[in-house]
Amino acid sequence: MDQKASTGELVGALAETIRAALKNGFRGWIDDDLAFVKPWGFDIGDIPVPTVVWQGHLDKMVPIAAGRQGASRSVSE
């Protein structure tokens, strides 16, 4: 994060968000990280309802190429 933005209300809001996210444990965070490196266990094409994959081109956490790759292939490979 930009050091200039890492002050005041923003830092407090981020800290509260992380505390709330981890309130019931950290296993969900681990599962999210593992989703980048192991199969999800299902094929995106098998989802029976309309589904949209959102990926912002300015996302600093997940490069746009990774989002496009995930959306275009089977994740059960």
Q: What is the pLDDT of residues 47-61, one digit of tens each?
A: 898 877 777 778 777
Domain count within the chain: 2
pLDDT classification of 77: cutoffs 50, 70, 90: very low
Judge if 43 and 77 occupy the same domain.
yes
Both tokens of 7, joined, read 């002050």
Judge if 45 and 34 occupy the same domain.
no
pLDDT at 16: 93
| DSSP assignment of 42-69 | S-GGG--S-------TT-SSS-HHHHHH
Both tokens of 19, joined, read 């505390």
Task: Give the pTM.
Answer: 0.45
Domain of 25?
1-38
